[in-house]
Amino acid sequence: MEPLSLETLRRIDRAHHLHPFTDHADLERHGTRIIRSASGCTVIDEHDRPLIDALAGLWCVNVGYGRREIADAVHRQMTAVAYYPSFFNTTTEPTILLAGKLAQLAPKGLGHAFFSNSGSEANESALKLIRAYQKLRGARSKQKIVTRSFAYHGVTLATTSMTGLPACTEPFDLPLRGFVQVPGPYAYGANDGRTLEQYAEHCLAETERILLREGPDTIAALFAEPVQGAGGVIVPPPGYLRALRDLCRRHDILFVADEVITAFGRLGAWFASDLWNLEPDLLVTAKGITSGYLPLGATLVRDEIADVLTRGGNLAHGYTYSGHPAATAAALANLEIIEREKLVERARDDVGPYLQKKLQALAAHRAVAEVRGCGLIGALEVVPRGGRAELTPTTLLGVKAAGLVREEGVIVRGIRDLVALAPPLVVTHEEIDAIFAAVERGLDRLWG
Ligand SMILES: Cc1ncc(COP(=O)(O)O)c(C=O)c1O
């Protein structure tokens, strides 16, 4: 069959496809982009143009594109048994092996995994497991959930309610009742003259004040992304997350690390919880667990909590595709690559520090007000010619800058007035050089 023309594909897409997180008027004006193939850190677009993907898809393609051995592992599994559920005392081999592997890799004590298909579902599962746990242990009044401003935890009704981004909540009249917000440590955004450390101290004090106002006996859990990703790559100062964790412990509130972006090497550790000694009660993963090759989420649960849940009768929660064997086979092959190629160590000792050095060098650019990052994630806050005072909620300079950088051959993400990067863990020095050269050229053009 002849391949369909770009015009035909775009016409069908326009007529029938509701895109996620897309301004459809803008899509119609510019035409749908279609990625046709990908290898390593490079994707090929609809015009056969190579682009370096400095966002790893959506912060997830940790091992890079085109890994034959993941495709082969999935093929083998699908040929043996393409699908069978994990309900009713049954499961499949790769799903068992992945649960065991995660228990081995995860921070101490997080020995149980509940599988789902995405980060949203993994957080949603955490919410339900926590609710059941609090009820089973006789703390039924503990039902509220605390999250931070600029948090991103997903798109279901409950996980949108946990998300601290008005652009995500307002169109749907969320949050639901019972979701409480405390300030996240976005010192640049607060712009009140305090240093990052001072602002984080203020956030901790405010968090404690709000916990006490709500009543700790009404609060089930606090969820936190160690580095807030979609909210703008918000990197906390040393000590803040551990203090937040200790605050939860003092008030008998479960602490959940949403590591959907940070798990599996991005920060130069298998988990941010290891890096910053967070000892979470639950740890939520997705994305890098398969490097995006197939959809998979895993909610890791502390053993004492799992004990209460497993002794509590029928666990009436689960998805048809919880522990889908093709996805868990992909995850096993993916984790094997990360281990064999020492990609976590590479992010920690080599390409992570190199990316951070290049990021710091761009701090001197006239259009850059702040850079921040950790390991293989980073952000640049950009400003117009007249400086920060001219920024408004609609300037969206980061989005504009990301468009210019794409014209220069590199995909980054524009969020409000900042540019975010998170390339695959296999990125080379040469690719990092090319990424930053393109970012610089884009920023040079930003003021017109
Ligand atoms: C920290 C975090 N949690 C949850 C999610 C939701 O994951 P998904 O889009 O797979 O539902 C995301 C997605 O970007 C995320 O970054």
pLDDT, tens digit (0-9, with 9 covering 90-100), for 265-288: 999 999 999 999 999 999 999 999
Please classify residue 125 by burial: count the beta carbons closer than 10 Å to its beta carbon, then call 0-12 exposed, 13-18 middle and 19+ buried. buried
Mean local confidence (pLDDT), 12-17: 97
What token pair was written down for 229?
Answer: 């990703």
Atom 8, ligand 1: residue with shortest CA distance: 119
Percent of the chain with pLDDT over 70: 100
CA atoms within 13 A on the CB side of 24: 8
Tell how far the Cα of 289 is from the centroid of ligand 1, in angstroms.
Answer: 12
Backbone Cα Rg of the chain: 22
List residues near ligand 1 (CB under 6 A): 58, 118-120, 123, 152-154, 225, 229-230, 258, 260-261, 286
Tell how far the Cα of 119 is from the centroid of ligand 1, in angstroms.
Answer: 4
pLDDT tens digits for range 68-120: 999 999 999 999 999 999 999 999 999 999 999 999 999 999 999 999 999 99
Q: How confident is the model at residue 393 (pLDDT cuts 50, 70, 90)?
A: very high
What letter represents residue 318's amino acid? G
Tell how far the Cα of 226 is from the centroid of ligand 1, in angstroms.
Answer: 13
Residue 1 has pLDDT above 80, yes or no: no
What token pair was written down for 230?
Answer: 């979609």
Q: How confident is the model at residue 194 (pLDDT cuts 50, 70, 90)?
A: very high
The total number of residues written for the chain in this structure: 448
Ligand 1: nearest atom to the Cα of 118: 10
Residue 2 has pLDDT above 90, yes or no: no
Ligand 1: nearest atom to the Cα of 286: 10
Residue 260 has pLDDT above 80, yes or no: yes
Mean local confidence (pLDDT), 390-412: 97
Quote the pLDDT of residue 418: 98
Q: Which of 145, 168, 256, 287 to mutate to test the pocket of ligand 1 (most atoms within 8 A of CB)?
A: 287
Residue 355 has pLDDT above 90, yes or no: yes
Ligand 1: nearest atom to the Cα of 121: 11
Q: Which of 19, 123, 260 to mutate to test the pocket of ligand 1 (most atoms within 8 A of CB)?
A: 260
Structural domains of the chain sorted by starting position, each given as residue range(s) with its CATH number in brackets: 35-63+345-444 (3.90.1150.10), 69-340 (3.40.640.10)
Ligand 1: nearest atom to the Cα of 262: 1
Mean local confidence (pLDDT), 400-409: 98
Q: Name the nearest CA neighbour of 181 among 201, 155, 161.
A: 161
Quote the pLDDT of residue 448: 86
Residue 184 has pLDDT above 80, yes or no: yes
Residue 428 has pLDDT above 80, yes or no: yes
pLDDT tens digits for range 221-254: 999 999 999 999 999 999 999 999 999 999 999 9
Percent of the chain with pLDDT over 90: 99
Overall pTM > 0.75:
yes
